[in-house]
Chain A
Amino acid sequence: MKSTVASAAFVAACVGCTHTDLPTNAPGHVEVSRAPGDLSLRVVEPPSDPGERMVLVGYGGFVGVGEQNSRGIGTTQAYGIGPEVSIGYGVGDTSHTEDEPLLGNGVLAERGIALNLGWTSLSSLGKGLGPLYAEVEFRRGGLIGVAGGWTWDPDDRTQGPQATVNFGPLYARVTTEIDLGTQVTLGIVLKGEHGFVWSR
């Protein structure tokens, strides 16, 4: 089960970084009130970059390990594994280029906000399956994300807050399930992502 989850997440992350360029607002910026310096040159002035906006749909999974403090048990080792999907909106001051090394066909938002829906299906906290969660994530610089949300565990009939900090594929997460305990995990989130990108 664990290897299947990890393999699926890895494959999704490797093959799923794609995007679609939309034609909306495609022209760049020019200053038509200013004449070129030399009218005899047959040169077209390259427009300046208007930047871009994007909607990003992500899908994949995460694997994290750490420690937890459970009521009546104390501090023990912890793990959390599960799938996560997200939908976000972002902007970039500069348009993306194609063929970014190691990024494939993916795009990154310089500033953005996203809704993450996940399920820590394999969790050391509580009994049975782990909690479902929903987070709102604020993204900066393409790689950094800070998220906060709420978890709900139907098996243990509990719920609680959750906070996550992402840096690229790495994350740190604190999950508290009221009356159950608190779990802190560090791990890797591997998510494929498809972006719909258009100019500003």
Chain B
Amino acid sequence: MSLLALNDHVLKGAGIVPTWVTGKLSDVTGLFFFPILLFTLAGLVRPVRHRVRRATAFAWATGVSFAAVKLVPFINAFVAAIWGAMVMDATDLLALPMLGLSVLYLRSEPHVVARGVSSMHARGRWVSLRDAAGVAFAGLASMATSSPMMVRAYPAWEVTGAASRAAGCVDVTPFVVKSGKEGIGLVATVQPRGGDPATAPCSTHLIGARIAAGGAAFPATVGKTAIDPSTRTVRTYLGFPFDNNTLWNAGLRDATLELDTDGSEGTRRIVFDLREVWPASHAPRTLVPAASSAQPSVSPSAPSTAPAHDGGVP
């Protein structure tokens, strides 16, 4: 019981021993311990008469339940909602022989398990503080745990569909870098599409930006331009303040990003699809900062000999 508690509540997620070790150790100790716990709890309600028969029955019940949780998705989901997350892994069934050892223990050491119970019934006294503490500790120790600490994850807007669109002689690639109740912040990367800058100069300005959602348009009110002279890549930060919390609560998950450009090839409007996604309420701590990594990854710089571009929102 102590080993199970140590493994589940200290070693798991601590990085001291490999995850597969804590996982298997949890199964091995749990399958040995659970029939004993059930045996003891049953003894509190009714005195033990057929020790081996009762121990075997609890071992079978534990084994069947364990196999069902490990193999049947809807049973796993049901139990996880009550008892805590448990990984579905058929190889965990390799630990089932521990049930036999548990029954052997209950057969060979009956006085250890049933001493307090039988004496309680024999004397007609209430269970001792020690027995109650032992059962309480056993119950707490047996509560399932999963190795990673799961922290709150938040919905985030992402660019869906085409990650990059052409606007005249440049490609524009937006990337959402902020998403929250107060709105969206994104970086628009403007890159020349190549060609000889001497014969085909390229000059494009970002002249307007807005997000359309739920029949309303929210213009960008914050713009910041950065020019990388070595690559001629322009990156502009666009902040779109709006009440995203209200949109979320209204169930509005889709929006469009409209960017207006003006350059040597005239004025153009390019449109990107946005969607606010929330895979789960919680995610492993290590994954939360990269929650929107599903967005298309764009090389931060691309070699180009084209003239530098200007950008920004008027």
Binding site for B on A (CB under 8 A): 2-4, 6-7, 10, 14-16, 18, 21, 23-36, 39-50, 95-99, 101-102, 104-105, 199
Contact = CB atoms under 8 A, between A and B. Distances in A.
Given A30-B183, A44-B291, 19 more contacts: A10-B139, A15-B83, A23-B248, A26-B278, A27-B276, A28-B180, A28-B181, A30-B178, A31-B182, A35-B222, A36-B237, A42-B175, A46-B288, A47-B178, A95-B152, A97-B282, A99-B145, A99-B150, A105-B82
Contacts of A18: 81-82
Interface size class of B (residues with CB under 8 A): 35 or more
B45 A3 contact: yes
Contacts of A3: 44-45, 126-127
A52 to B, nearest CB: 8
Nearest to A31: B182
Contacts of A24: 249
Contact of A47 (B179, B236, B293): B179
A102 B282 contact: no
A102 B143 contact: yes
Interface string B25-59: 00000000000000001001100000000000000
Nearest to A79: B126
A35 B45 contact: no
Interface of B: 9-10, 13, 41, 44-45, 81-85, 126-127, 135-136, 139-140, 143-146, 148-152, 154-156, 175-185, 187, 221-222, 224, 226, 228, 235-237, 239-241, 244-245, 248-249, 276, 278, 281-282, 288-293, 295, 297-298, 300-301
A45 B177 contact: yes
B177 A44 contact: yes
Given A10-B136, A35-B224, A45 B143 contact: no
Given A35-B239, A42-B297, A44-B179, A99 B45 contact: no
A17 to B, nearest CB: 8
Contact of A14 (B140, B175, B184): B140
Contacts of B180: 27-30, 32, 47-48
Contact of A27 (B10, B140, B145, B181): B181
A35 B237 CA distance: 6
A34 B84 CA distance: 40
A7 B127 CA distance: 11
Contacts of B82: 15-16, 18, 105
Given A7-B41, A44-B291, A14 B143 contact: yes
B288 A7 contact: no
Contacts of A6: 127
